[in-house]
Amino acid sequence: MDKPINEEIASRRTFAIISHPDAGKTTITEKLLYFGGAIRDTGTVKGRKSGKFATSDWMEIEKQRGISVTSSVMQFDYDGKRVNILDTPGHEDFSEDTYRTLMAVDAAVMMVDVGRGIEPQTIKLFKVCRMRGIPIFTFINKMDRQGKEPLDLMEELEEVLGIESYAMNWPIGMGKEFLGIYDRFNNRIEQVRVKDEERFLELNEEGGLLKPHPMMETSYYKQAMEEVQLQNVAGNDFDEDRIAKGELTPVFFGSALTSFGVQTFLETFLKFAPEPQPRITKDKVEIDPYSKEFSGFIFKIQANMNPAHRDRIAFVRIVSGKFERGMTVSVPRISRTFKLTQTTQFLADDREIVDEAVAGDIIGIHDTGNYQIGDTIIGGKSSFVFDALPQFTPELFVRVTAKNVMKSKHFHKGILQLVQEGAIQYYRTLHTEEVLLGAVGQLQFEVFEHRMKNEYNVEVRMEHLGAKVARWIENESDVSESMAGQRAMLVKDRHEKLVFLFENEFSMRWFHDKHPSINLYNLL
C-alpha cells in the first residue's frame, strides 16, 4: 500500500448492487469493472454463459441453473478511490447470504428495469438497506428500450418503496428515440450515438443549450426540458445529508448494455458514496474505522471453494484498522486466537493472496470450522463483540429426516454445523421433535441436501411444507398449545423460542382475531 493508512481507509467505497433478476446487474457490474480497468473486455464476469465459475463441486448446481449461488467481491480503482462491489445473487432462489451481504456494505445501488419498474426482489432487498439506513442510489436501466414514463417511475419509487427521490439526470427520449440525458447534476447534456468529442453539450445557467443544436428542435428535448422544469419547481431538493441517511435516493437514467450514462453514474456515485462507516458493538460502543486496532466481522461462510480440500472461507468485512497477513486475531465468542496466514482477496473471478487490507475492504480467511457467521475478530487486546447480524424471516419450510436411520448422529452433526454456518435455519416440532428447516430461497435446501451428502455422508429426505408465514411471539407465556392447529403450526427455533408457522397471511389474521392478546412479530 503506497498511501498512509488513513488515506487508504478514506479511499474505500464498499457497496452492493440490488435488483430483481434480469434488471441488468451483471451487465452494469461488468461495465464498472471495465471503466475501473479491472477487466479488459466485458462478457467475462461470472462467465454466466461460458460456465467459467465452477470453482467448487456444489457450485455444480449453479452451473446447471446458470445462476450465481454465492456473493463474490470485486475490487477496482477509479479516480483515487478503491471500489469494492459485493455481488448479491440475483436469481429468484436467492438466499440469506444475499441479505447478509447487505450488512457488510456502506451503500447500495438499486437497478430498476425501465420497462418493469420496482419488482418483488428489489423490494425485499431495499427493505434491508432501508433498515440499515444506508444511502441507496437508483439506476434506471435499459433506456435504449421503450419503457415506463420517467415521471411515473419516480412516483413508483415513492409509492412502492416509500423513498423520496431526486433525479440526477433526465432522459431525452427513450427506446429507438433515446437521444441522451439531461445531466442536472453536471449541468450538461450527454448525447447517445455521437462521436466522443460531441458527447457533452454544455448548458447555460438556466439549463438551456449554449449554442443552437438540432436536438433543440426535437419533441423529446422539449418534453425533457418541461419535465425537468417541473421537478425544479415541485420536486425534492438535492440534499446530501438526506442521501447519506438513505431518506432520499438520487436517480440516474441510463443503459448498461450500451454503456450509456454508466461512467457519469460511476463518477457521481463515487462523489457521494460514503467512506467506511463505523459499526456499533453489543455494548453500544462505536468502533471508528480509523482506530488503530484491526477489527472486523464475518458475514458469510462459503464451503468448498476448493474441492480438493474440504475447507471453508469466511468473508470478513474489515471495520477498523489494517489487516496484515500473518497477524494474530482473537475471536471473543470462543476466546481463541488464530494466526491469519491464508487470506484471499477477490478480483472478478480470480482470487489472490492478500497481504494487506484496511477498513472497508473484504477479505476471505481460511476456516477449518472454527468461525461462525456474525463472529467478531480483533487484532489487538480489546475484547468486544459487534452487534449481532439480523436473522431473516424464512418463507419456505421442509421437514427433513435421514434416509438411513443409522446415520442419525451424522445427520444431527451436519445440520448443527450448517445451521451455525447460516446456510439454513433450524426448527423443531414441540413433542415429536421433528426437524424442520426454513429458508428464504429454495436454493438453500438444494445446497443443504447436496452438502449433507457430500460433506457428512448422509442422504436426506425432504418433505416440502411450502411457503409459511413465520411469526415469533412477544408474550410466550400466554401461548397455549391448543392455539396451534393445521393452519398454525407451533414450533421452536434453535434458540428455543416459540414460533407459529401460519399457512398464509389469511390464517395469520384469523389467528390474530381469535387471540388478540398474543403479540406476534416477524424478523426482518
Confirm or deny that 84 is annotated as ligand binding.
no
Count the site residues for ligand G4P by CB under 6 A.
16
Q: Shortest distance, CB of residue 67 to ligand G4P, whole angstroms?
A: 9
Q: Shortest distance, CB of residue 19 to ligand G4P, whole angstroms?
A: 5
Is residue 319 within the footprint of ligand G4P (CB under 6 A)?
Answer: no
Confirm or deny that 175 is annotated as ligand binding.
no
Confirm or deny that 309 is annotated as ligand binding.
no
Confirm or deny that 135 is annotated as ligand binding.
no
140/452 with CB nearer ligand G4P: 140
404/442 with CB nearer ligand G4P: 442
Contact region with ligand G4P (CB under 6 A), list: 21-29, 130-138, 157-165, 483-491: 21-29
Confirm or deny that 513 is annotated as ligand binding.
no
Q: Shortest distance, CB of residue 254 to ligand G4P, whole angstroms?
A: 7
- Please report which helix (H) or strand (E) contains residue 98, including its range: helix 96-101
Is residue 239 within the footprint of ligand G4P (CB under 6 A)?
Answer: no
Q: Shortest distance, CB of residue 17 to ligand G4P, whole angstroms?
A: 8
Q: Shortest distance, CB of residue 136 to ligand G4P, whole angstroms?
A: 17
Binders in 122-151 for ligand G4P, by CB under 6 A: 141-142, 144-145
140/168 with CB nearer ligand G4P: 140
Distance in angstroms (rounded) separating the CA atoms of residues 372 and 335: 13
Counting runs of H as helices and runs of E as strands, what totals does the chain give? 12, 31
Q: Shortest distance, CB of residue 393 to ligand G4P, whole angstroms?
A: 24
Report which of 323, 327, 346 is spatially closest to residue 8, judged by C-alpha positions: 323
Confirm or deny that 20 is annotated as ligand binding.
yes
Distance in angstroms (rounded) separating the CA atoms of residues 159 and 161: 6
Confirm or deny that 165 is annotated as ligand binding.
no
Is residue 351 within the footprint of ligand G4P (CB under 6 A)?
Answer: no
Residues in the chain: 524
Distance in angstroms (rounded) separating the CA atoms of residues 302 and 371: 11
Distance in angstroms (rounded) separating the CA atoms of residues 12 and 492: 42
Q: Shortest distance, CB of residue 175 to ligand G4P, whole angstroms?
A: 9
27/344 with CB nearer ligand G4P: 27
Is residue 27 within the footprint of ligand G4P (CB under 6 A)?
Answer: yes
Residues 6+ apart with CB under 8 A from 341: 325, 326, 366
Q: Shortest distance, CB of residue 100 to ligand G4P, whole angstroms?
A: 19
- Please report which helix (H) or strand (E) contains residue 346, including its range: strand 343-347
Confirm or deny that 306 is annotated as ligand binding.
no
Distance in angstroms (rounded) separating the CA atoms of residues 187 and 179: 16
Confirm or deny that 49 is annotated as ligand binding.
no
Is residue 26 within the footprint of ligand G4P (CB under 6 A)?
Answer: yes
Is residue 25 within the footprint of ligand G4P (CB under 6 A)?
Answer: yes
**Contact between 11 and 80 (Cβ < 8 Å):** yes
Q: Per-residue b/e over 385-415, b at no fewer than 16 CB within 10 Å?
A: bbeebbbbbbbbbbebebeeeebeebbeebb
Q: Shortest distance, CB of residue 120 to ligand G4P, whole angstroms?
A: 14
Is residue 183 within the footprint of ligand G4P (CB under 6 A)?
Answer: no
As a three-state string, the secondary structure of 204-226 is: CCCCCECCCCHHHHCHHHHHHHH
Binders in 79-118 for ligand G4P, by CB under 6 A: 90
Which listed residue (23, 359, 447, 460) binds ligand G4P by CB under 6 A?
A: 23
Binders in 242-281 for ligand G4P, by CB under 6 A: 255-257
Max Cα-Cα span within the chain: 83
What is the grid cell recorded at 181?
Answer: 440525458
As a three-state string, the secondary structure of 425-467 is: EEEEECCCCCEEEEECCHHHHHHHHHHHHHHHCCCEEEEEEEE
Phi and psi (nearest 5°) for 50?
A: -90, -5
Distance in angstroms (rounded) separating the CA atoms of residues 144 and 192: 10
| Bridge partners for 133 per DSSP | none
146/187 with CB nearer ligand G4P: 146
255/343 with CB nearer ligand G4P: 255
The binding site comprises 19-26, 87-91, 141-144
The binding site for GTP comprises 19-26, 87-91, 141-144
Residues near ligand G4P, by CB under 6 A: 19, 21-27, 90, 141-142, 144-145, 255-257
